[in-house]
Structure 1
Amino acid sequence: MADENLRGGLKAEIDVSPRGSESGHLGAVASHIADEPIAGAISPIVLAGFVPLVEFTAISLLGTAIYLAYVVPDSGFAAYYPLTILGLSAIAVLAFHSIDIYQVQAFRAVVLQFSRMFAAWTSIFMIVFAIVFFARLDGVFSRVWIATWYSLGAVMLFGLRVGLAGLVRTWTHQGRLVRRTAIVGGGEAGASLIQSLEAQADCDLDIIGVFDDRGDGRSPERIAGKVKLGTVTDLVEFARRTRIDLVIFSLPVTAEARILAMLKKLWVLPVDIRLSAHAAQLRFRPRAYSYIGNVPTINVFDRPLADWDVVMKWLFDRVIGSLTLIALSPVLLAVAIAVKLDSRGPVLFRQKRYGFNNELIEVFKFRSMYVDQCDVAASSLVTKGDPRVTRVGRFIRKASLDELPQLFNVVFAGNLSLVGPRPHAMQAKAENRLYDEAVDGYFARHRVKPGITGWAQINGWRGETDTAEKIQRRVEHDLYYIENWSVMFDLLILLKTPLALLKSENAY
């Protein structure tokens, strides 16, 4: 339980962290690396789960095609053939799983993986032939169909694996199948950690550089061949300008004060944070650690959404978002006509807001203000009876109909989710202070994509945020949502949103 107590203590301290808006000024080397174009990451877990689905589908379609081309014209349709095809396809994929060839490392080794796959594929069909022979099913199943499926299936599987190996090599070269990693803490501990990580077989880490607050001889400019790119404050800006997947602390567990000070800056980032234990004298039970190869680490923070969660969230947004957009298209058309007839100017209003990982995105809204009084930066909050708001604008803002065009952001641009922390305008303020100045840990809400609606909104925290207490409550609800996300939670929030809009009193 020692490691759980440590993590709990760290998180308890960080929950009351100072604001995370500090921004360092990156040096020339760090800026150059941050500005290099980087392809998006591909989750090895998702890839390893997707390949069996592809192979199951391919095997089934091949068996079906041979059946339709050879058996059906001569013997007609028989229901037991499709059932057999599905059953044997599933057995084949399960057999491939049992010989451990659904891993990224196996995908790279074409000869080794296919020799094992071919052995399993051959074993399955030998058993099938034996069953057909000994059970005297010659008149039930076509032996030509079975033999053709076996032969063409082997060729097809080999082709698929060759193609997959090529894709994996390309994605690896592009950096899409590696975890871009930053090391926090230089000196001997940092050098030892880097050397241990790079010595791992099939290491999937790309160590970008080292960040350390110390500027003396204990933290030189180059550690184990890696350049020191700046301080921990610089790492926050660096991770917002380029893709960082993993941060590993090389500091010993005993340096708790230094670790806490650094984590208070880093926890707002959507990255995995690990504390290296490879050189620690204090040892827990092996199962207390997570391992990178054989290097033990302690999990401090995990990114909120990773692997299959990202896929599920993406599917939820695109499928439900598209259906919602179609269902509400008459409402969108009616509001657009009303806005156009009420005052001159464009129907839609575009506004820069902060999105995932503090990136600037452009969101769409129905224009609710007079065109010559629109406040693009939202430097002045809309208040009750605000003269800048049009007649139609007052109604659509009260009913949140002005937000409906953000469905275009969800379905087409992909920079918004249906559910998530609401994106705030760049200059939005509470009590004349920018939100990140008014609320501690404000930027932690940007660890996931922002949403059209959210947990804060259905709990009454929408509309005017003229006090620090109001934005504080929003952030608290946003962080609760991030820590407890699930598809069912998103669905619950969506279903409750119309009811929350009916009883809202804070939207002007």
Structure 2
Amino acid sequence: MSFGFDPHGALRARASAAHAVEILLGPLVAVFCLVVSVHLQGQSFDRQYFALSLITFILLFPGVLRLSEHRWRMMLKATMAWLTFCASLWIFGYSTGFAEYFPVRVILHWQVSTLVVLLVAHEAARRVMQRVLAKQRAKAVIVGANDTGLTLGRELQFSRYSGIELLGFFDDRGQGRNSSIGCHAPILGRIPDLAEFVRKEHVDEIYLALPMASQPRVLSLLEDLRDTTASIHFVPDIFVTDLIQGRVDHVVGMPLVSVCDTPFYGLRGIIKRTEDVVLAVLILLLISPLLIAVAIGVRLSSPGPIVFKQRRYGLDGKEVLIYKFRSMSVTEDGATVFTAASKSDARITRFGAFIRKTSLDELPQFINVLQGRMSIVGPRPHAVAMNESYRKQISGYMVRHKVRPGITGWAQVNGYRGGDDLAHMIKRVQYDLDYLRNWSLLLDIKIILRTIRLVAKDSSAY
């Protein structure tokens, strides 16, 4: 939220340009290199290449590289992200037959050249943006040397791309408060001294990091600053809570700050749902013979249904029914009482032990994905009775239901699969919330690839 004038629109434009470079550089470089590779290899850029360029841009947008990252960290991150994308593309291409439409020499030329050009382009962008932003830096002060103000101050000092020079703090609580978390800007004075300092030093930006309870104090300060041309920004102390997809938004024209929200809104939601539907259809087509074989095995192993339904919490905490191949002699739905399976559980049939070990019992859940009840990647669903127990013991437990439950998830590929003790569940929830904070299409692909690698040797499945 801003008050007053903004005499440094050009500076803001430069900072916005740095952000635009970060999110667009990778996708644009990949598409550009594809166009060049096609022409260098004597091919015409027809429909299949246009489709490939569109898929590439969608999967890579927004870019994950940051200009402020260390050079070698950026190079490693770019290399791993691009190799993961390329491996996923090859797997998808050969499993669907899509690869037959493209000469191998063109694809290899494109994938190798893209990595080289991406690294060079990012380093060039880093140097150019540093020079552009160094030409004009806005003078800034922070009002309030509290945790919020100190965090902002540290980030401003460490960022080479903010275009802001932090002069120091104004605070009524004395000196020495700003060294504890790595921010070493000085205390310039008490808050009543701010207006005079701003006029004298021609300060461009003022960040108010005062507590929300200080409204009369803030209003008085804004009145004093009406005689300046500085841009004034309110930095709410929302960082005392754990932000899940925190962002600034508007509702019916009113500004608001989202503290906890789903990552799948707008275009992101469309991308996620498209990913689920496309992959679920392809996977079901590929594994249809396996589904039939497992169904026969379940039928012959013990009396009872082949597929049974379990009650689980889905999107927004609403109950859904999910499908699994039956691996036990009983079919608990987990609605009121749920007894987790153990390695020596007498309820598990011999064939059931095999399909649980190999996760084949989960395969019918791809049908749940098509129904919209589940996602391929997301927090694993727990039994309703288990949810009701842990939601009272683990802070933020129900936040994991801001997205559809998944067949596999970030917690599972990091070793937190199976087990229902409290310490294990706390770590699982932490990974689930981390997934919500940092979701991207590349992260989903990474989780899927790690799941494929781990599923055959995961000793924690039973």
Instruction: With the length of structure 2 as denominator, give the TM-score of the two structures.
Output: 0.47
Return the index of the structure with the highest Cα Rg: 1
Which structure is higher in RCO with an 8 Å CA cutoff and minimum separation 6? 1
Instruction: With the length of structure 1 as denominator, give the TM-score of the two structures.
Output: 0.43
